[in-house]
Structure 1
Amino acid sequence: MTWVVRRMVIAPLLVVGMVLLWITLPLWLIAASAASPILPGRLRPLRIMWVAIVYLSCEALLLVVLFGLWIASGFGWKLRSPYFEGIHYDLVQGTMWVFFREARRVLRLRIETEGPAPDAHPGRPILVCCRHAGPGDSFVLIHTLMAWYDREPRVVLKDTLAWDPAIDVLLNRIPARFITPNPAEGARLEDQIAMLATDLDANDAFVIFPEGGNFTPGRRQRAIDRLRKLGMERMAQRAEQMIHVLAPRPGGFLAALDAAPEADVVLVAHTGLDHLVTVGDIWRELPMDKRIVMRWWQVPREEIPESREERIDWLFARWEQIDAWIEQNRPVDLTGRS
């Protein structure tokens, strides 16, 4: 029944709220301008308020367009057709382009990409494995994946994100899975992941975060303790040596590999958002004035081991490589502050 609350209550309230916000915008601008000299950071309230308004406006407009597409598709009859699926991917890319354009301009946020050219191995689908750290890194990843790699992503993400009404509606119309990370239901979750990774086209990208959650020191220690509890002392020792990432949970990645035997693997590391853990961290850093660097490694399928144990060891080795790269590429503050 939660979907009823999301679709019938939260979504309409968001649209109505944005209409009221734009009507009362002069009052918000006056309040933010008055607070700017008091709070640290150059025009911090105004800049943050504008980015928030852009994001929420994109969400509200997207919900209206999605409702119109539902009607145009025969009240949902043709929503899963290739034609309407393509329209929804275009909506994702267009919305991301608008939001990140404003984020770059207003927050002085720079996103730089390093790695192989997008056509390094044309004609193959890819399995994208990304570290998970910092607010919004999944949005940065999807935006870069669509803009730079020109791929249509299939995403595995936490079910809590379904409470965002636009994400809820949109990702229920294109290939995606909302899951609840739970070790007790590992087999069922792996089956869901395998279904999503099946029949990937040459322009598809299956996206997964093997760590299962955003990096925090507490989660890192719990991941190490979990490995020891499972009797995997060698892996626990390797996880202790990785200080910037969580020990990867290989089940979902292995399921995707088996379901997509033709796909290459792309690993993604990033810096710039990983030190933002608490709400206080985010408030202190915004406006960010930061450079986010994303490093991509594309591994041909022929280089992926065949056995399960070798694949787990390979994944840990790659995560150790990501950890080392992060250590060598700490976030850069564009304001010159340390």
Structure 2
Amino acid sequence: MLPPRILRRLVLAPLVIVVTVFMLVTLPFWLVVTAAASLRLPPPQRRGPRFVWFGTAWLTLESAVLIACLWLWVAGGARRQERHYALIRWFLTRVYAMAERVFRLTVEIDEPVATPGERAVQLTRPVIVLSRHAGPGDSFLLIYHLLTRYERRPRIVMKAALQYDPSVDVVVNRLPNAFVPRKSGQKHVIEEIHRLAATMGAHDALVIFPEGGNFTPRRRRLAIRRLEEKGLAEEAERARGMDHLLPPRPKGAITAIEACPSADVVFVAHTGLDDLVTLGDVWRKLPFSAHITAKWWRVPAAEVPRERAERVRWLYGHWEQIDAWIDAQRLSRAPADRPGPGPGRPG
């Protein structure tokens, strides 16, 4: 159970700062210990020092954010949304730069080319972002690019447990976002999506992950079985044709579209770190050089179907397009990266 807010502010936030100071003081010791423990491993598997360095940098940035939030609260700026979006942008920009140096992260984005006139028109409309959910930090990367590259103010519905992270707890709760408890049920999630979508302005972006979680073969089988049990034979058949994605749950996306009919819809596909689902996967399998490929395309609000049944088929159609794109990406890099079919593809 999540502790009360006052307890999180008085205990967890100061604890992060204390741990940060401790790690900064003892950083040379941890680097020596992890480096020594990694000597018997080949260079690509020597992850210990990289994780220690990245973790310490992350804690330092978190502490800086918490101190900045305290200053904003004392100065009376706790309700100034633009300052908090700027703070998130500052934090994610530095985390991204650190990931580029420590994990050799590269992100390649295939995006439609818009003329200055088209871009000017697009910036007058909010967007609903429907993204694949896979790999570590995909939401962080997506929010980072929305803030920095596309000049958007992201909104997102998140698990309440993320509030154990003090900087997320403080900053995100001061902005139009939503935290939902794990056992709150789909109804509460849909209500929060409706609330966030209905109040969007021209520069806002509501981010939704229609799959509801990272892909695994087991989750795929269970999701198809649930569709069959509900009598959704067409959706189940189309889900069986997708090898890399869970079938989308259309209710959240449709609710957002209904609540903000003026919004364009953006679909986001990405691949590269699909096999890293848990922290254990990240520790065991994180490559020496991490590369993520992404592709997105935009559907103007006027081209979004009006009827619910048509919207469900339309959503599945775009999900099939994402699945085909992932398949093509894996096949294109298979000779260099791995023999045979990519991991995660069910037999």
Q: TM-score of the superposition, structure 2-length normalised?
A: 0.89
One of 16, 19, 28 as aligned partner of 1:17: 19
1:29 aligned onto 2:27? no
Range 129-138 or range 3-12, more displaced = 3-12
One of 64, 71, 74 as aligned partner of 1:71: 74
Q: Tell me the distance in 2 between the aligned counterparts of 1:175 and 1:207.
A: 12
The answer on whether the counterparts of 2:69 and 2:78 sit within 8 Å (CA) in structure 1 is: no
The answer on whether the counterparts of 1:219 and 1:246 sit within 8 Å (CA) in structure 2 is: yes
Q: Relative to 1, partners in 2 of residues 1:41 and 1:280: Cα closer, same or farther, differing over 3 Å?
A: farther
Secondary structure of the 1:155 match is strand
Identity, % of aligned positions: 45
- TM-superposed CA distance for 1:22, in Å, is 0.8
The answer on whether the counterparts of 1:211 and 1:246 sit within 8 Å (CA) in structure 2 is: yes
Q: Relative to 1, partners in 2 of residues 1:288 and 1:227: Cα closer, same or farther, differing over 3 Å?
A: farther
Mapping of residues 1-338 of structure 1, within 5 Å: 2-4=3-5, 5-42=7-44, 43-73=46-76, 79-80=78-79, 84-117=80-113, 119=119, 121-180=122-181, 185-330=185-330, 337-338=337-338
Q: Tell me the distance in 2 between the aligned counterparts of 1:331 and 1:291.
A: 15
- TM-superposed CA distance for 1:123, in Å, is 1.3
Q: Tell me the distance in 2 between the aligned counterparts of 1:303 and 1:181.
A: 35
Gaps of 5+ in 2: 339-347
Q: Tell me the distance in 1 between the aligned counterparts of 2:295 and 2:95.
A: 22
Gaps of 5+ in 1: none
The answer on whether the counterparts of 2:125 and 2:201 sit within 8 Å (CA) in structure 1 is: yes
Secondary structure of the 1:261 match is coil
CA deviation map 1:54-88 (0-9, x unaligned)? 11211122112112211111xxxx533xxx11000
Q: Tell me the distance in 1 between the aligned counterparts of 2:242 and 2:125.
A: 31
- TM-superposed CA distance for 1:95, in Å, is 0.6
Secondary structure of the 1:11 match is helix
CA deviation map 1:65-118 (0-9, x unaligned)? 112211111xxxx533xxx11000001111111011011112111011111247
Q: Relative to 1, partners in 2 of residues 1:98 and 1:332: Cα closer, same or farther, differing over 3 Å?
A: farther
Q: Tell me the distance in 1 between the aligned counterparts of 2:171 and 2:154.
A: 13
- TM-superposed CA distance for 1:278, in Å, is 3.9
The answer on whether the counterparts of 1:125 and 1:200 sit within 8 Å (CA) in structure 2 is: yes
The answer on whether the counterparts of 2:124 and 2:202 sit within 8 Å (CA) in structure 1 is: yes
CA deviation map 1:249-298 (0-9, x unaligned)? 11111111011111100000100121113444322333540210111111
State the one-letter code of the partner of 2:99: A
Over aligned residues, Cα RMSD in angstroms? 2.0
Q: Tell me the distance in 1 between the aligned counterparts of 2:68 and 2:154.
A: 21
Q: Tell me the distance in 2 between the aligned counterparts of 1:173 and 1:257.
A: 24
Give the total of aligned pairs. Answer: 328
Secondary structure of the 1:330 match is helix
Secondary structure of the 1:262 match is coil
The answer on whether the counterparts of 2:180 and 2:188 sit within 8 Å (CA) in structure 1 is: no
Q: Tell me the distance in 2 between the aligned counterparts of 1:44 and 1:20.
A: 21
Q: Runs of 4 or more off by more than 6 Å in structure 1?
A: none
Q: Tell me the distance in 1 between the aligned counterparts of 2:219 and 2:212.
A: 10
Q: Tell me the distance in 2 between the aligned counterparts of 1:117 and 1:87.
A: 30
